[in-house]
């Protein structure tokens, strides 16, 4: 069951109230609950902004793209961490999109009906594993393997790109990206599968009846037909990757410098916050609040776009064309 | 319509022949291409399952040996996690006990109204389910730790509750919306009081969805680490008092992972197994419950 | 009600191109498709059984009968659409020309370029323009030559009585067309591949009366170009458009059976079987 989406309102049509409540006390109680929730969120946003303000008033805005993070010299540049966030997310999505789509197509159209539920559940259970466990596993199990086998191999094959300079550290941006890929894969697969299967069967049959092979049906009818929803799945997965904290902090080989290769250590906005929050005070603390605010805004924006895209597909999926 | 033998050939037939030829010539290429596409898709499915198996296998293999009696009776100061288990239970319980009624009430509100206000609240809840948990941790810090000048289990419960709340709200709304209006009307027709209808008719009908949503929310809440890192500080003492700093399983895992001493890392694996087992059981349990209750509904 | 038409003997050169097993020069006086004892079962349950009749070239053959009698199931067996259903088993023989479409070594995708299909609800591809829709079948089959694509598209759209409406907006999306126009687009799309047989599964049941009438006229015009097999639950439609009819009925075990197959005129005025008589007199639906 996809907890991400739930249902929307009934699109404007006036629905008869579920419990034609005469008891206003009851109604007030429900409304109060909703209002309290809204108030909490409002408090959250206001607090984030106000706690970040000292950073902007004492450092200006430029610290957001400042290149150096060195509290000792009062430099709080966030650029290394913004780049780190982007780099790890890009690596994760470069892997998650093809593998997620292939997996979703298989689950939606290729696997036998009887194993479909088991396999789908298995992929979705990947999302249930706590992120800190991924961090532990990534650091203890995968990092050594990265250092001794995978990174040397990739360096030899792709070294010419200039992305693989430097020593094989095991931990670093690359490992963080790979762990993130594993963590966002279930989101990508579950939502993609739903939108791919929502492509009206009419069209699939229409293509087959013209003499298309199954591969052609996938490439020319199913994938294009679901493209809005697929972009939504992509966005939701990206939002997840951007905001992930502990798994990344454990495997990224924490460094406060701009990473010069994807094998080197780095940091993300989230790992910066979690590593420094405990001991920070004054300007540094305010900057951390600001970093949290930046992260919040980016992830919220990505999520909003994503939900709009997925909803549009879900709504229009039932009727692909108007019939006179 | 007859045509003479030396008239120009019928263009349709000519085209038909040409198309047949092209189609026949390309069929092998197309078959191979299709087979490759399908093969790649299925290979990717296998690739996606490998990490799942690997993670579970390693956690079980490395965590099980850690489960000796000391693990469950000693505190984090002496190779055990008793205080962390208690902390996870206390924090989880507080968060759940507050978030469930709160979230279901708000969810019912959303299910009942389609107005602009409800629409905004729904939108906010949706966005909040995807917000980075570290920022919720910051909120918990600001709301409780800053104001009480103290790290505490309550602060952690507040943050975990804030994570669970929007999930329960939306799951609740979906479940309540799924109740067919006719059930309500039937109750009314039989002359029942409206509050009775709510209790006897609506709630049982929405129950499967509610249980599923709640179990999933709890599973998610228990597995979160980042909010705890900023709110509960950690502690080596065994106690049940949420007004003081506490420890919790995710925190133990996080703190122990990077340590050089292998016996400390061993504790992390043990805690990871325990945490993962609980979360997976809740997840699978929620699906099974949903399936079973759905069948009974019919 | 028309007399069954027979292809004139004096037709000019038949450009049969021999590409091995795929396209075999045919004797024009043979039926285009011969069904012998055709049956379809899903997971052991028979949906239709023992159907035997011939489909004659350049005629319209209608499959009629009340709902549930297996008409659509039978139709879909003629272009191997049941291949995608795991639990489906097709028995008997379906000959296209001289080759059995199931056992004769024909590639199913090639078969479907020779036996096209139009569905009950119009199903143009929403992400493609009108031009892309019409040429979709050709492109699926490997045709890349632009001149050929344009020529086939124009010919098909003219045959579907759509050319004048769309020739100036070929890049527009299919959703800008009305329901009846979309169905004609689907017909054009199927025609562009120049199939020998066109299967139509209740093509007008989702359309309004005016659009229905236009498509019925179209069917009459098209039969000189392709052989048509049409499923319809509307008796009057069958009377209007078809040359021969196959009447199917559901037996007690829910399997469809062929009751009678004959020229339309005869079937409706003087049927051999009393059940046919009941049906055409509207005694059951």
| C72, C82 Cβ separation under 8 angstroms | no
Which one is predicted more confidently, B69 or B218?
Answer: B218
pTM over 0.95: no
Closest by Cβ to A203, choosing from C110, C112, C123: C123
Residues of A in contact with B125 (CB under 8 A): 37
Answer whether A30 sits within 8 Å of B258, measured CB to CB.
no
**Per-residue pLDDT band at B288 (split at 50, 70, 90):** confident
Residues of chain A with pLDDT under 70: 1-23, 313-324
Mean pLDDT of B265-284: 92
pLDDT at C5: 42
Residue C45 pairs in a beta bridge with: C42
Q: Is the pLDDT of residue B212 over 80?
A: yes
Mean pLDDT of B77-96: 90
pLDDT at A17: 52
pLDDT at C24: 42
Q: Is the pLDDT of residue B47 over 70?
A: yes
The verdict on B211 touching A (C-beta cutoff 8 Å) is: no
**Per-residue pLDDT band at B179 (split at 50, 70, 90):** confident
User: Block means of pLDDT (10 residues each) for chain C, length 285 residues?
Assistant: 40 36 46 93 92 93 91 95 92 92 91 95 94 95 94 94 91 90 95 95 92 93 93 92 93 91 91 90 73
Residues of A in contact with B221 (CB under 8 A): none
pLDDT at B112: 83
Q: Say how many Å lie between the first and final Cα of chain B, rounded.
A: 65
Q: Which residues 55-74 of B are in CB contact (within 8 Å) with A?
A: 55-56, 58-59, 62
Residues of A in contact with B197 (CB under 8 A): 19
Q: Is the pLDDT of residue B3 over 50?
A: no
pLDDT at A10: 44
Chains near A with 3+ CB pairs less than 8 A apart are: B, C
Answer whether C180 sits within 8 Å of A205, measured CB to CB.
no
Helix (H) or strand (E) holding A315: helix A282-316
Calculate the dihedral angle through the C-alpha atoms of B241, B245, B251, B254, rounding to the nearest 10 degrees: -160
How far C175 CA lies from chain A's nearest CA (Å)?
A: 6
Closest by Cβ to C194, choosing from B19, B25, B27: B19
**Per-residue pLDDT band at B135 (split at 50, 70, 90):** very high
Q: What is the ipTM of this complex?
A: 0.86
The verdict on B174 touching A (C-beta cutoff 8 Å) is: yes
**Per-residue pLDDT band at B183 (split at 50, 70, 90):** low
Q: Is the pLDDT of residue B181 over 80?
A: no
Closest CA to A83 of A265, A284, A276, A287: A265
pLDDT at C3: 42
Residues of C in contact with B35 (CB under 8 A): none
pLDDT at A6: 43
Residues of B in contact with A8 (CB under 8 A): 122
In tens, the pLDDT along C248-258 reads 999 888 899 99
pLDDT at C7: 40
pLDDT at A11: 41
Q: What is the 3-state secondary structure (H, E, C) of chain C?
A: CCCCCCCCCCCCCCCCCCCCCCCCCCCCCCCCEEEEEEEEEECCEEEEEEEEEEECCCCEEEEECCCCCCHHHHHHHCCCHHHHCCCEEEEEEEEECCEECCCCCCCHHHHHHHEEEECCCCCCCCCCEHHHHHHHHHHHCCCCCHHHHHHHHHHHHHHCCCHHHHCCCCCCEHHHCCHHHHHHHHHHHHHHCCCCEEEEECCCCCCCHHHHHHHHHHHHHHCCCCEEEEECCCHHHHHHHCCEEEEEEECCCCCEEEEEEEEHHHHHHCCCCHHHHHHHCCCCC
Residues of C in contact with B13 (CB under 8 A): 14-15
Closest CA to A125 of B286, B273, B181: B286
Mean pLDDT of B247-272: 92
Answer whether C155 sits within 8 Å of B13, measured CB to CB.
no
pLDDT at A9: 44
pLDDT at C285: 54
Smallest CA–CA distance from B291 into chain A, residue: A1
pLDDT at B199: 63
pLDDT at A122: 87
pLDDT at A1: 37
Can you list the domains of chain A with their CATH numbers? 2-59 (no CATH), 63-323 (1.10.3720.10)
Can you list the domains of chain B with their CATH numbers? 74-297 (1.10.3720.10)
Average pLDDT over all residues of chain B: 87
User: Best mutation site among B146, B226, B248 for testing chain A: the one with the most A CBs within 10 Å?
Assistant: B226
């Amino acid at each position: 069951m996809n907890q991400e989406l739930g249902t929307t309102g009934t699109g404007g049509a006036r629905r008869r109230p579920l419990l034609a409540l005469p008891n206003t006390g009851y109604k007030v109680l429900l409304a109060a609950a909703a209002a309290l929730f809204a108030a909490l969120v409002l408090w959250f946003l206001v607090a984030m902004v106000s706690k970040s303000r000292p950073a902007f008033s004492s450092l200006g805005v430029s610290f957001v793209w400042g290149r150096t993070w060195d509290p000792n010299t009062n430099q709080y540049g966030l650029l290394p961490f913004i780049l780190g966030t982007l780099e790890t997310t890009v690596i994760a999505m470069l892997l998650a999109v093809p593998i997620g789509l292939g997996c979703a197509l298989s689950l939606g159209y290729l696997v036998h009906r009887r194993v479909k539920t088991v396999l789908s559940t298995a992929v979705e259970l990947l999302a249930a594993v706590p992120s800190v466990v991924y961090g532990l596993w990534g650091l203890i199990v995968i990092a050594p393997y990265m250092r001794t086998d995978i990174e040397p191999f990739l360096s030899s094959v792709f070294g010419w790109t200039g992305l693989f300079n430097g020593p094989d550290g095991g931990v670093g941006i690359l490992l963080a990206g790979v762990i993130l890929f594993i963590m966002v894969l279930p989101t990508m697969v579950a939502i993609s599968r739903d939108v791919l299967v929502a492509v009206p069967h009419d069209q699939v049959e229409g293509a087959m009846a013209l003499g298309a092979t199954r591969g052609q049906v996938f490439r020319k009818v199913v994938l294009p037909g679901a493209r809005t929803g697929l972009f939504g799945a992509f966005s939701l997965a990206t939002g997840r990757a951007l905001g992930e904290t502990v798994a990344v902090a454990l495997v990224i080989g924490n460094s406060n410098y701009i990473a010069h290769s994807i094998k080197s250590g780095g940091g993300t906005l989230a790992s910066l916050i979690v590593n420094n929050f405990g001991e920070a005070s004054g300007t540094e603390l305010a900057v951390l609040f600001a970093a949290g605010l930046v992260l919040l805004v980016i992830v919220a924006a990505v999520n909003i776009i994503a939900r709009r895209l997925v909803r549009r597909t879900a709504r229009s999926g039932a009727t692909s064309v108007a019939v006179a | 319509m007859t045509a003479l033998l030396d008239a120009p050939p019928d263009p349709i037939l000519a085209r038909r022949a040409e198309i047949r030829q092209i189609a026949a010539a390309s069929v092998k290429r197309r078959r191979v291409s299709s087979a490759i596409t399908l093969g790649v898709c299925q290979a990717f499915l296998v690739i996606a399952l490998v990490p799942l198996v690997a993670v579970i296998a390693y956690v079980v293999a490395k965590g099980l040996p850690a489960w000796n009696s000391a693990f469950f009776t000693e505190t984090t100061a002496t190779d055990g996690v008793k205080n962390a288990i208690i902390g996870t239970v206390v924090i989880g319980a507080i968060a759940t006990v507050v978030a469930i009624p709160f979230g279901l009430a708000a969810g019912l509100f959303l299910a009942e109204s389609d107005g602009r206000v409800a629409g905004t609240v729904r939108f906010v809840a949706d966005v909040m389910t995807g917000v980075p948990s570290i920022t919720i941790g910051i909120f918990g810090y600001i709301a409780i730790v800053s104001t009480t000048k103290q790290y505490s289990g309550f602060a952690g419960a507040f943050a975990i509750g804030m994570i669970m709340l929007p999930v329960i709200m939306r799951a609740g709304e979906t479940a309540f919306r799924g109740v067919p209006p006719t059930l309500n009307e039937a109750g009314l027709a039989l002359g029942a009081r409206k509050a009775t209808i709510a209790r006897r008719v609506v709630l049982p009908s929405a129950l499967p969805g509610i249980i599923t949503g709640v179990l999933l929310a709890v599973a998610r809440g228990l597995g979160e680490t980042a909010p705890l890192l900023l709110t509960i500080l950690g502690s080596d003492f065994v106690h049940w008092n949420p007004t003081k700093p506490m420890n919790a399983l995710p925190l133990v895992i996080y703190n122990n992972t990077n340590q050089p001493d292998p016996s400390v890392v061993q504790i992390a694996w043990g805690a990871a197994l325990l945490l993962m087992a609980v979360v997976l059981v809740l997840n699978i349990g929620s699906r099974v419950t949903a399936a079973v209750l759905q069948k009974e509904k019919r | 009600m028309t007399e069954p038409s027979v292809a004139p003997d004096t037709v000019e050169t038949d450009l049969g191109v021999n590409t091995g097993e795929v396209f075999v020069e045919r004797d024009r006086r043979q039926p285009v498709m011969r069904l012998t004892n055709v049956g379809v079962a899903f997971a052991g349950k028979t949906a239709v059984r023992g159907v035997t009749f011939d489909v004659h070239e350049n005629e319209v053959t209608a499959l009629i009968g009340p709902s549930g009698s297996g008409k659509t199931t039978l139709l879909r067996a003629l272009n191997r659409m049941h291949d995608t259903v795991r639990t489906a088993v097709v028995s008997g023989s379906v000959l296209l020309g001289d080759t059995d479409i199931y056992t004769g070594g024909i590639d199913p995708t090639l078969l479907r370029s020779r036996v096209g299909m139009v569905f009950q609800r119009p199903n143009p591809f929403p992400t493609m323009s009108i031009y892309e829709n019409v040429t979709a079948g050709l492109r699926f089959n490997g045709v890349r030559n632009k001149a050929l694509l344009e020529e086939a598209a124009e010919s098909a759209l003219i045959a579907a009585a759509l050319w004048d409406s769309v020739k100036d907006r070929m890049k527009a999306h299919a959703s800008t067309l009305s329901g009846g126009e979309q169905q004609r687009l689907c017909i054009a799309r199927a025609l562009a591949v120049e199939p020998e047989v066109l299967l139509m599964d209740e093509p007008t049941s989702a359309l309004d009366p005016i659009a229905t009438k236009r498509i019925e006229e179209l069917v009459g015009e098209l039969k000189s170009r392709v052989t048509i097999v049409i499923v319809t639950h509307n008796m009057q439609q069958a009377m209007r458009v078809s040359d021969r009819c196959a009447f199917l009925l559901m037996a007690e075990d829910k399997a469809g059976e062929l009751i009678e197959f004959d020229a339309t005129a005869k079937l409706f005025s003087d049927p051999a079987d009393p059940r046919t008589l009941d049906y055409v007199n509207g005694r059951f639906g």
